[in-house]
Protein backbone atom coordinates (compact mmCIF):
# COMPACT_ATOMS: atom_id res chain seq x y z
CA UNK A 1 0.00 0.00 0.00
CA UNK A 2 2.88 2.25 0.51
CA UNK A 3 3.56 2.10 -3.22
CA UNK A 4 0.11 3.42 -4.05
CA UNK A 5 0.96 6.82 -2.70
CA UNK A 6 3.83 7.17 -5.10
CA UNK A 7 1.57 7.08 -8.21
CA UNK A 8 0.75 10.59 -9.27
CA UNK A 9 -2.96 11.24 -9.66
CA UNK A 10 -4.08 12.66 -13.00
CA UNK A 11 -6.61 15.43 -12.62
CA UNK A 12 -8.55 16.25 -15.76
CA UNK A 13 -9.20 19.83 -16.50
CA UNK A 14 -12.62 20.97 -15.27
CA UNK A 15 -15.18 19.93 -17.85
CA UNK A 16 -18.32 21.90 -18.51
CA UNK A 17 -21.45 20.31 -17.05
CA UNK A 18 -23.54 18.77 -19.80
CA UNK A 19 -26.85 20.54 -20.46
CA UNK A 20 -30.17 18.77 -20.45
CA UNK A 21 -31.75 17.66 -23.69
CA UNK A 22 -30.33 17.13 -27.11
CA UNK A 23 -26.96 18.77 -27.78
CA UNK A 24 -26.92 21.71 -30.19
CA UNK A 25 -25.57 21.20 -33.66
CA UNK A 26 -22.47 23.23 -34.44
CA UNK A 27 -24.18 25.32 -37.18
CA UNK A 28 -27.52 25.85 -35.37
CA UNK A 29 -29.04 29.35 -35.59
CA UNK A 30 -30.25 31.29 -32.60
CA UNK A 31 -33.86 32.44 -32.41
CA UNK A 32 -32.80 35.96 -33.42
CA UNK A 33 -30.91 34.63 -36.45
CA UNK A 34 -33.90 32.50 -37.53
CA UNK A 35 -36.26 35.50 -37.21
CA UNK A 36 -33.91 37.70 -39.24
CA UNK A 37 -33.74 35.03 -41.97
CA UNK A 38 -37.56 34.82 -41.98
CA UNK A 39 -37.86 38.59 -42.42
CA UNK A 40 -35.28 38.57 -45.22
CA UNK A 41 -37.13 35.78 -47.08
CA UNK A 42 -40.48 37.56 -46.78
CA UNK A 43 -38.99 40.91 -47.77
CA UNK A 44 -37.46 39.31 -50.88
CA UNK A 45 -40.83 37.76 -51.74
CA UNK A 46 -42.61 41.10 -51.29
CA UNK A 47 -44.71 39.91 -48.35
CA UNK A 48 -45.17 42.27 -45.40
CA UNK A 49 -43.81 40.96 -42.13
CA UNK A 50 -45.40 43.44 -39.75
CA UNK A 51 -48.91 44.90 -39.58
CA UNK A 52 -49.43 48.54 -38.67
CA UNK A 53 -52.16 49.73 -36.28
CA UNK A 54 -54.30 51.08 -39.14
CA UNK A 55 -54.00 47.83 -41.08
CA UNK A 56 -54.89 45.90 -37.94
CA UNK A 57 -57.97 48.04 -37.30
CA UNK A 58 -59.04 47.62 -40.91
CA UNK A 59 -58.65 43.85 -40.67
CA UNK A 60 -60.66 43.76 -37.43
CA UNK A 61 -63.48 45.76 -39.05
CA UNK A 62 -63.47 43.45 -42.07
CA UNK A 63 -63.59 40.42 -39.77
CA UNK A 64 -66.55 41.86 -37.83
CA UNK A 65 -68.36 42.66 -41.08
CA UNK A 66 -67.85 39.13 -42.35
CA UNK A 67 -69.01 37.62 -39.05
CA UNK A 68 -72.18 39.74 -39.16
CA UNK A 69 -72.78 38.73 -42.78
CA UNK A 70 -72.32 35.07 -41.85
CA UNK A 71 -74.72 35.36 -38.91
CA UNK A 72 -77.29 37.09 -41.12
CA UNK A 73 -76.98 34.35 -43.73
CA UNK A 74 -77.29 31.64 -41.10
CA UNK A 75 -80.43 33.27 -39.72
CA UNK A 76 -81.85 33.43 -43.23
CA UNK A 77 -81.34 29.74 -43.97
CA UNK A 78 -81.87 28.36 -40.49
CA UNK A 79 -84.69 25.89 -40.21
CA UNK A 80 -87.23 26.87 -37.58
CA UNK A 81 -86.83 24.62 -34.57
CA UNK A 82 -89.62 23.94 -32.14
CA UNK A 83 -91.97 26.30 -33.91
CA UNK A 84 -94.66 23.81 -34.87
CA UNK A 85 -96.33 21.50 -32.41
CA UNK A 86 -97.16 17.86 -33.17
CA UNK A 87 -100.63 18.79 -34.47
CA UNK A 88 -99.21 21.38 -36.90
CA UNK A 89 -100.09 24.37 -34.71
CA UNK A 90 -97.58 27.22 -34.49
CA UNK A 91 -95.66 27.41 -31.22
CA UNK A 92 -95.55 30.60 -29.17
CA UNK A 93 -92.00 31.39 -30.31
CA UNK A 94 -93.14 31.36 -33.96
CA UNK A 95 -96.09 33.60 -33.13
CA UNK A 96 -93.87 36.18 -31.45
CA UNK A 97 -91.73 36.66 -34.56
CA UNK A 98 -94.77 37.19 -36.81
CA UNK A 99 -96.99 40.25 -36.75
CA UNK A 100 -100.60 39.79 -35.71
CA UNK A 101 -102.89 39.82 -38.77
CA UNK A 102 -104.66 43.09 -39.44
CA UNK A 103 -107.86 43.72 -37.50
CA UNK A 104 -110.55 43.56 -40.18
CA UNK A 105 -113.16 44.90 -37.78
CA UNK A 106 -110.92 47.93 -37.16
CA UNK A 107 -112.02 48.04 -33.54
CA UNK A 108 -110.81 50.80 -31.27
CA UNK A 109 -107.94 50.27 -28.86
CA UNK A 110 -109.07 49.30 -25.37
CA UNK A 111 -107.16 50.04 -22.19
CA UNK A 112 -106.27 47.14 -19.92
CA UNK A 113 -104.71 47.49 -16.48
CA UNK A 114 -103.08 44.25 -15.38
CA UNK A 115 -101.58 43.20 -12.08
CA UNK A 116 -99.44 40.09 -12.22
CA UNK A 117 -97.07 38.28 -9.93
CA UNK A 118 -93.32 38.68 -10.26
CA UNK A 119 -92.66 35.46 -12.20
CA UNK A 120 -94.98 36.40 -15.06
CA UNK A 121 -93.86 40.04 -14.98
CA UNK A 122 -90.20 39.07 -15.38
CA UNK A 123 -91.13 36.51 -18.03
CA UNK A 124 -92.85 39.29 -19.96
CA UNK A 125 -89.74 41.48 -19.62
CA UNK A 126 -87.54 38.65 -20.95
CA UNK A 127 -89.85 38.07 -23.92
CA UNK A 128 -89.88 41.81 -24.59
CA UNK A 129 -86.07 41.97 -24.62
CA UNK A 130 -85.55 38.70 -26.52
CA UNK A 131 -87.92 39.50 -29.38
CA UNK A 132 -87.33 43.27 -29.37
CA UNK A 133 -91.04 43.98 -29.00
CA UNK A 134 -92.95 46.23 -26.63
CA UNK A 135 -94.87 44.46 -23.86
CA UNK A 136 -98.13 45.34 -25.61
CA UNK A 137 -97.07 43.55 -28.81
CA UNK A 138 -95.92 40.47 -26.86
CA UNK A 139 -99.25 40.27 -25.03
CA UNK A 140 -101.29 40.93 -28.19
CA UNK A 141 -99.50 38.20 -30.14
CA UNK A 142 -99.76 35.63 -27.36
CA UNK A 143 -103.45 36.37 -26.77
CA UNK A 144 -104.17 36.19 -30.52
CA UNK A 145 -102.31 32.87 -30.72
CA UNK A 146 -104.16 31.37 -27.73
CA UNK A 147 -107.56 32.51 -29.04
CA UNK A 148 -106.86 31.16 -32.53
CA UNK A 149 -105.72 27.84 -31.05
CA UNK A 150 -108.97 27.48 -29.10
CA UNK A 151 -111.11 28.41 -32.11
CA UNK A 152 -109.31 25.84 -34.26
CA UNK A 153 -110.12 23.16 -31.70
CA UNK A 154 -113.84 23.61 -32.45
CA UNK A 155 -113.38 22.64 -36.08
CA UNK A 156 -116.87 22.37 -37.64
CA UNK A 157 -118.70 22.44 -34.29
CA UNK A 158 -120.62 25.70 -34.73
CA UNK A 159 -122.51 25.30 -31.45
CA UNK A 160 -119.26 25.08 -29.45
CA UNK A 161 -117.84 28.07 -31.35
CA UNK A 162 -120.98 30.13 -30.62
CA UNK A 163 -120.86 29.17 -26.92
CA UNK A 164 -117.20 30.33 -26.87
CA UNK A 165 -118.12 33.69 -28.41
CA UNK A 166 -121.21 34.22 -26.25
CA UNK A 167 -119.40 33.62 -22.95
CA UNK A 168 -117.87 37.10 -23.19
CA UNK A 169 -121.21 38.84 -23.33
CA UNK A 170 -122.74 36.69 -20.56
CA UNK A 171 -119.88 37.26 -18.13
CA UNK A 172 -120.00 41.04 -18.40
With contact defined as beta carbons under 8 Å apart, do 60 and 66 qualify? no
> Is the domain of 97 the same as that of 162?
yes
> Is the domain of 139 the same as that of 112?
yes
Q: Report if residue 86 sits inside a domain.
A: no
Residues 6+ apart with CB under 8 A from 139: 124
> Is the domain of 102 the same as that of 156?
yes
> Is the domain of 104 the same as that of 157?
yes
Q: What share of the chain is helix, strand, coil (3-state, %, to 5)?
A: 55, 0, 40
Q: What is the count of structural domains for the chain? A: 2
Each residue of 2-55: pLDDT tens digit?
555 566 556 566 677 888 888 888 899 999 999 999 989 988 988 877 778 888
> Is the domain of 62 the same as that of 106?
no
Each residue of 115-160: pLDDT tens digit?
999 998 998 999 888 888 888 888 888 888 888 888 888 888 888 8
The residue range of the domain holding 157 is: 92-171
Quote the pTM value: 0.44
> How far apart are alpha carbons 92 and 85 in whole angstroms?
10
> Is the domain of 71 the same as that of 135?
no
> Is the domain of 101 the same as that of 167?
yes
Amino acid sequence: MAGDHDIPLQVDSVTEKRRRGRPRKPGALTNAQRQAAFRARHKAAGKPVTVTKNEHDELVRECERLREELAKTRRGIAKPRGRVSSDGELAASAVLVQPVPADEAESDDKRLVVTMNGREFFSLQRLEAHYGLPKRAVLERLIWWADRSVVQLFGDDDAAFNRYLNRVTKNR
